[in-house]
Every structure is written in C-alpha cells, then in structure tokens.
C-alpha cells in the first residue's frame, strides 16, 4: 500500500497539496482519481472504500490472505453493498457464494435476514434464519411438557406475527401452542399458565385469581382482581394527552369500618372500584382503583377520587399508610417517543433522592427497586414498564391526603415535561435543584411546588434560576 493511500486515510479524502513534493503530489492525485471513479461506479461511502483500499477490487482468491482482510473490513455493512462490491470486482455467481462461505467459516460472518453482513447475529428458530443484533430478539415459550416450559429465540417480527405477551408471567408464548385470555382488570394472560397458577375462568370468560369452589369468606368486598371495572382504558392508551390511573392502598381501623366505607361509597362506580389485596392486612386493607383521569380532571374541586379520599379521612384511616401500603400511578406513556420514554425513566432513577422525597419512602428491592439492571420486564421496579406501553410508577407511599396524592401525579407530569427537552439536566444535585426551581417558576404544579418550597429557600431559588435560563 502506498504512502499516498496512508495520507488519504488520515485526511479523509481531502488533501492540502501545497507543501507536497511533485512526485508524491502526483501519486496522491492519482489515488484520489481512482477513489473518485470507484465511488461513482459503486455509490459507496468514501470511509468504507478507503477501509479496504479504494485503489483495488475485492480479492476473491481463497489462497490470498487479502480476501480475509477484505471480509473483515466489510463487517457491519449492508449485504446489498457487499454483493454489489463483489459483482464490480468480477466475483459473481458460485464464486461469490464461495467468498461468503469462507467469510462464514473464517470470521463467522453471516448474511442476515434483515440485510446485514455481520458476526453479531442470532438464529430465529421460528423462521430458521439468521438476524443481526440490530433486530430485537425474544425468548418465546413454544411448549409445556410435564410442567417444563420449552423456549426458543425469535425475532421481533416473528413475535409480532405469531406470539403474545402474558402480563402474569411476563413472558412471550407461541400463539400456535397456547391460547391467550384476559383477566378482570384487562391484563393478557396465557391460559395454560393461568390454570397452573391459581386462576379460574368466570362465566364471562375473564380469568380471576382464586378457587371458585372455595366457600364464600363472608366478606362483601371483592378479593384481589375481582372488582368490576366499568371503564375502558382503550381511549387513554391511544390519546395524545396524558392520562393518570391511580391505585391507592388504605389501612382502616378494623374490618367493620372498611365495609361501612365500601358500602357508603357505593363501589363500584363509573369512576372508581375497590377490592382487597393479598399484600395488605387481611381485615383492614383496601385498594381504591380509578379510571384514567386527566390532570385537569383531578384538579376539579370535589372530583370522585377526592370525595372518596375525604370520606376515608372521616373513617380515620392511617395517614400516612403503614409501610407496605403504596400508591401506584399509571400513565399512558405510549404517547411519548422512544427517546423521551428513555429519558423519563432515566430521570426517575438518576433523581432518586428527589423521587424518594416526593414519594415519602425509600426504595424497596422487593416491590419498587431502583436497580437499573432490573428495568424492562420486572414488575417490581420504580417504574413498571408494562407490555401495553404504559408506565406504572410504584414508588409512592400510601395516603388518603388529597394534596399529597395530587402532588404524586404532578410529579410524574412535571418530570415528563422536564425530560421533553434533552438539554435539561437530571443528574446530581444541580439537576435536581434546577428541576425544583423550574417547577416553582412555572407555577403549573401548585401541589408539588408547595412541597418543594418547604425545603427550597428563596436564596437557593434565586441562585438556581440563572442556571435554569441557560439550560432552557
């Protein structure tokens, strides 16, 4: 390889020749001419052409080590470009197939179904083809034998065509081998998994947890997942504006107060439902579940949830609730771009100290872990990234206090708006201080702002606002 080619590589194809000797200058110009002709003939980026030396064609000889070097240089390139390059090099038909076979044997390079020439691959067992790692892969249950679940690796397209996601087990199942069903709260489950894990199908075809043959326990309040929800979440899932559904866990003084409250509020209603939860105290615990509300609806005076919480306060429920009682806020994150979704999740974890302050409790690895390694597929994380695309914020402490509940929703909404701009910082004390100052300055989140200003002094706010202006 000539010295001129080395200069070409360092310069990226653009040479300053004024201080170059005549013979070297002629060599550089000749190599430039060859590279430009090569480019016009093949429509390939210059960086790629120079990586294997644009002054010559691809080597097709099995005995020449340059053939292996060429294949290695072409790794990670679209297959159609490699094929065109081989064709322009006079390597076609059976000879081209031999070249690809040698690349596979020597370097494990494959031509993939999604159009790449690469060694970063996986085998889709449904379609019996190779895919590059640029295509997402999934483990899919394809059969169940004697309680053993057999899995295969499938591509994203294969899963979309021939599998479904079970919210209960958080796994994919082959549609050809398993049937899917719906629980009373709208989750998708594999019916085989549901039968093996304590669920039964009611007269309406919905899956419920428990044994239908068990004697009635005498309680007039539905058990976990048995409460009727008269609303649909379809509108919220497809909406372009934010919706928020809440699950508020309350602790009553005794089972009589709990039953009186349930009957007084007339659950279920068009907006609310209530049920017992196995994770709460058997006689005192109650979970109040809402339909999806907009933030504007929640700010309306005497809205249905506020009235229900005010009634709970009159029954002297614990405020705040005992440890283990929480508030889950679910929002239709389907409306956000993939980059925005990632920034929102990262901000919740990166601003953990602030999130814990608003939530009123520290992280719990069993129910709402802040471990980033558990994200995406684990329900018991700070944000449960649900299979339908919604986000369930699980970090907040249970309480009937309406202003605190409203501050939870405002925190999720404010954090969503803050992360809409990629330039807004979220890491470290500076990012948290700027976010708090922004919330206060915007004036759009009064319940959250009141909680912040109890610890954010005027002096700190004055110092943060100039930085906030620069970040914006």
Asked if 196 and 262 sit in the same domain, the reply is no
The pLDDT score that the predictor gives to residue 158 is 94
Q: Is residue 191 part of a domain?
A: yes
Q: From 93, 89, 39, select the one nearest 64 (Cα to Cα).
A: 89
Asked if 240 and 203 sit in the same domain, the reply is no
Of 176, 209, 242, the last residue of a domain is 209
Of 172, 192, 209, the last residue of a domain is 209
Q: Where are the beta strands (DSSP E) in 280-421?
A: 285-290, 326-331, 383-385, 391-397
Contact, 89 vs 44, CB < 8 A? no
Contact, 238 vs 334, CB < 8 A? yes
Asked if 353 and 426 sit in the same domain, the reply is yes
SS3 433: helix
DSSP, res 231: -
Task: State how far the Cα of 47 lies from the Cα of 43, in Å rounded to an integer.
Answer: 12
Asked if 427 and 387 sit in the same domain, the reply is yes
Q: Is residue 112 part of a domain?
A: no
Q: Is residue 222 part of a domain?
A: no
Q: From 151, 114, 157, select the one nearest 133 (Cα to Cα).
A: 114
Q: From 135, 111, 133, 137, select the one nearest 125 (Cα to Cα).
A: 137
Q: How many residues appear in the chain?
A: 472
Asked if 425 and 321 sit in the same domain, the reply is yes
| Other beta carbons within 10 Å of 447 | 18
pTM beyond 0.75: the answer is no
pLDDT tens for the chain, 472 residues long, are 444 444 444 444 444 445 556 666 666 666 566 555 544 444 444 455 555 554 457 777 777 777 788 888 788 889 988 888 888 788 888 999 999 999 999 899 999 999 999 999 999 999 999 999 999 999 999 998 877 889 999 999 999 999 999 988 889 999 999 999 988 777 889 999 988 888 888 777 788 877 665 545 567 898 887 788 888 888 888 899 999 999 999 999 999 999 999 999 999 999 999 999 878 888 899 999 999 999 999 999 889 999 999 999 999 999 999 988 999 999 999 999 999 999 999 999 899 999 999 999 887 776 666 766 555 556 678 888 887 889 999 999 999 999 999 999 999 999 999 999 999 988 888 888 899 999 988 999 999 999 887 554 444 454 545 554 544 4
Contact, 424 vs 439, CB < 8 A? no
Asked if 65 and 142 sit in the same domain, the reply is no
Give me the helix-helix angle, 352-359 and 338-350, nearest 10°. Answer: 80
Q: From 359, 355, 357, 383, select the one nearest 369 (Cα to Cα).
A: 383
Element of type H or E holding 215: none
Give me the helix-helix angle, 446-453 and 402-418, nearest 10°. Answer: 100
Domain harbouring 419, CATH code: 3.30.590
Query: Residue 259: which domain range?
Result: 234-471
Of 106, 123, 154, the last residue of a domain is 106
Q: From 181, 228, 179, 172, select the one nearest 201 (Cα to Cα).
A: 181
Q: Is residue 268 part of a domain?
A: yes
Contact, 72 vs 107, CB < 8 A? yes
Asked if 94 and 150 sit in the same domain, the reply is no
The pLDDT score that the predictor gives to residue 388 is 81
Contact, 329 vs 393, CB < 8 A? yes
The pLDDT score that the predictor gives to residue 27 is 65
Asked if 327 and 454 sit in the same domain, the reply is yes
Asked if 198 and 259 sit in the same domain, the reply is no
Q: Domain total for the chain?
A: 3
| Other beta carbons within 10 Å of 60 | 19
Q: Is residue 124 part of a domain?
A: no
Element of type H or E holding 4: helix 3-11
The pLDDT score that the predictor gives to residue 32 is 62
Q: Is residue 309 part of a domain?
A: yes
Task: State how far the Cα of 307 lies from the Cα of 296, in Å rounded to an integer.
Answer: 16
The pLDDT score that the predictor gives to residue 8 is 43
Phi-psi region of 435 (alpha: psi -120 to 50; beta: other; left: phi over 0): alpha
Q: Is residue 286 part of a domain?
A: yes
The pLDDT score that the predictor gives to residue 137 is 92
Asked if 316 and 434 sit in the same domain, the reply is yes
The β-bridge relationship of strands 137-145 and 171-174 is parallel
Asked if 192 and 269 sit in the same domain, the reply is no
Asked if 270 and 337 sit in the same domain, the reply is yes
Q: Is residue 99 part of a domain?
A: yes
Task: State how far the Cα of 250 lies from the Cα of 285, in Å rounded to an integer.
Answer: 6
């Amino acid at each position: 390889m000539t010295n001129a080619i080395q200069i070409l590589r360092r310069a990226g194809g653009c040479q300053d020749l004024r201080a170059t000797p005549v013979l070297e200058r002629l060599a550089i110009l000749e190599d430039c001419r060859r590279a430009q002709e090569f480019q016009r003939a093949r429509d390939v980026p210059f960086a790629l052409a120079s990586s294997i030396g644009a002054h010559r064609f691809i080597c097709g000889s099995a005995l020449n080590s340059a053939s292996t070097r060429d294949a290695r240089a072409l790794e990670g390139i679209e297959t159609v470009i490699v094929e065109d390059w081989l064709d322009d090099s006079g390597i076609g038909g059976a000879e081209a197939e031999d070249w690809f076979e040698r690349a596979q044997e020597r370097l494990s390079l494959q031509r993939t179904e999604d159009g790449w020439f690469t060694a970063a691959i996986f085998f889709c067992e449904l379609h019996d083809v190779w895919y590059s790692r640029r295509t997402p892969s999934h483990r899919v249950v394809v059969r169940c034998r004697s309680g053993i679940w057999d899995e295969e690796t499938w591509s994203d397209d294969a899963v979309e065509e021939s599998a479904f996601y079970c919210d209960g087990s958080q796994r994919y199942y082959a549609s050809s081998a398993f049937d899917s069903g719906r629980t009373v709260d709208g989750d998708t489950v594999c019916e085989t998994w549901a039968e093996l894990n304590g669920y039964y199908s009611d007269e309406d075809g919905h899956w419920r947890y428990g044994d239908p043959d068990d004697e009635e326990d005498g309680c007039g309040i539905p058990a976990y997942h048995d409460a009727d929800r008269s609303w649909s979440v379809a509108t919220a899932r497809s909406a372009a504006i934010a919706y928020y559904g809440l699950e508020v866990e309350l602790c009553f003084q005794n089972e009589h107060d709990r039953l009186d409250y349930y009957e007084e509020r007339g659950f279920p209603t068009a907006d609310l439902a209530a049920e017992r939860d196995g994770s709460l105290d058997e006689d005192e615990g109650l979970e109040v579940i809402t339909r999806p509300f907009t933030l504007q609806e929640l700010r309306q005076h005497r809205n249905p949830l506020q009235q229900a919480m005010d009634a709970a306060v009159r029954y002297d429920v614990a405020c705040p609730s005992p440890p283990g009682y929480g508030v889950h806020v679910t929002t239709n994150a389907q409306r956000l771009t993939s980059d925005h979704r990632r920034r929102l999740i990262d901000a919740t974890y990166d601003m953990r100290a602030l999130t814990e302050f608003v939530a009123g409790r520290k992280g719990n690895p069993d129910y709402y872990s802040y471990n980033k390694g558990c994200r995406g597929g684990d329900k018991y994380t700070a944000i449960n990234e649900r299979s339908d695309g919604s986000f369930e914020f699980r970090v907040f402490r249970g309480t009937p206090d309406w202003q605190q509940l409203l501050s939870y929703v405002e925190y999720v909404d404010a954090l969503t708006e803050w992360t809409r701009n990629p330039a807004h910082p979220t890491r470290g004390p500076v990012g948290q201080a700027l976010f708090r100052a922004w919330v206060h300055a915007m004036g759009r989140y009064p319940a959250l702002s009141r909680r912040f200003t109890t610890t954010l002094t005027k002096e700190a706010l004055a110092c943060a606002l100039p930085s906030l202006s620069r970040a914006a």
